[in-house]
Structure 1
Amino acid sequence: MNTTQGEYTTTAKWLHWLMATLIALAWLIGFYVSDLPKGPEKAAIMAWHKGLGTAVLALITVRLAWRLLHPPPRLPDTLSPGLQRAAHSAHWTLYGLMIAQPLSGWAVSSANGYPVKLFGLITLPALVEKNEVLAQTFVEIHEFLAWGLALLVVGHVVMAIKHHHVDRNGILHRMLPGRRPTSD
């Protein structure tokens, strides 16, 4: 990617928006399914939740590899060094949560004795043995991470809107689809 243009590659943009969509859907489905009684409806909806989670876990590896091979554009010099550090910290925390959240869900399923399938096709190995106490601990971790991820995503969106409408520094435009970077 040509970082002098200040834009992300088309691939980076697609990965960003695809993952944002998958994470939002997984979060909403997880929130909905958590209050359902055990039964076939909950199992079917949970399969979708797990499928989205495994897709996020697979895609985050692709996204991180892409980011390492195609560094993102620099932040504008108009941002203070402190804000630049905060932005970098927030982005890496988001990446960490995009790994930890699906892993904790996988651990919940494993500890409850349920399989997890990658894209609904390949059964993944259990992360832990079946254990009800451990399952409840992982449920609490999974829920905590879900709320933390949601909070960080809201902050991410608020800051993108602030950069666009208040600072008018072009940061939001760099990640919007439809704008073509000079190279991919």
Structure 2
Amino acid sequence: MLNNTNKQYGNVSVSFHWLSAILVVGMFILGWWMLTLTYYDEWYRLGPWWHKSIGIALFVLTVLRLFWKQVNPSPAIEGTPLEQKGAKLGHGVLYTLLFVVMISGYLISTADGSSISVFDWFDVPGYPLGIENQEDIAGIVHWYAALTLMILAAGHALMAVKPHVINKDNTLRKMFYKT
């Protein structure tokens, strides 16, 4: 089942969701770990290379995911009207933070006009905005947006478990593969 139905997410949507979740958590862990690296550590240059490459890939994945959502509507949200509004708002905030993290990461990496090599397959050109201290400002935004994203992602996970355990509805089951 590739497409969504009115009761279940299709395998494409489920794949987008879980791949995004794994990449976002992995990127946060990698980014946090990179803060501990010293100049002479072999990962000092390799860690950012992976982080930037995966970040660009995640950006493309997220754009494709949003396109898929537009052409393949989601199942109805279960719960009270307040829970339904909260779910829509929460998803909107998660997507917004995800784009803030990715765009600020791009602005860090390209502040000096450098392009970003994506797995050494191709380069994404730099676009320096000419903002004084662009790299530092974007770095602060990147860190706090990523930290907020992780906190809200944890809340998102808890809010998926609550209806499953307490309300006994299908909210959580909708996000697993069906054959």
State TM-score, norm by structure 2: 0.90
Indicate yes or no: 2:126 matched with 1:109.
Answer: no
Matches within 5 A, 1:116-127: 116-127=116-127
Match of 1:55 in 2: 57
1:110-132 superposed Cα distances (whole Å, 9 cap, x missing partner) = 11554312344221111315777
Matches within 5 A, 1:18-167: 18-39=19-40, 40-76=42-78, 79-112=79-112, 114-128=114-128, 133-167=133-167
Contact kept? 1:164, 1:172, Cα under 8 Å: yes
Tell me, in whole angstroms, the C-alpha distance in 2 between the residues paired with 1:28 and 1:87: 26
State TM-score, norm by structure 1: 0.88
Offset at 1:35?
2.1
Identity %: 27
Tell me, in whole angstroms, the C-alpha distance in 1 between the residues paired with 2:107 and 2:44: 18
Change (3 A) 1:65 1:2: closer
Tell me, in whole angstroms, the C-alpha distance in 2 between the residues paired with 1:2 and 1:143: 34
Tell me, in whole angstroms, the C-alpha distance in 1 between the residues paired with 2:125 and 2:32: 25
Tell me, in whole angstroms, the C-alpha distance in 2 between the residues paired with 1:43 and 1:113: 18
Unaligned runs of 5+ residues in structure 1 are: none
Deviates more, 1:111-120 or 1:8-17: 111-120
Contact kept? 1:8, 1:175, Cα under 8 Å: yes
Partner letter of residue 127 of structure 2? L
Tell me, in whole angstroms, the C-alpha distance in 2 between the residues paired with 1:50 and 1:137: 18
Query: Larger RCO: Structure 1 or Structure 2 (Cα < 8 Å, ≥ 6 residues apart)?
Result: 1
Unaligned runs of 5+ residues in structure 2 are: none
SS in structure 2 opposite 1:66? Answer: helix
Deviates more, 1:135-144 or 1:108-117: 108-117
Offset at 1:98?
2.1
Tell me, in whole angstroms, the C-alpha distance in 2 between the residues paired with 1:136 and 1:126: 16
Tell me, in whole angstroms, the C-alpha distance in 2 between the residues paired with 1:95 and 1:156: 12
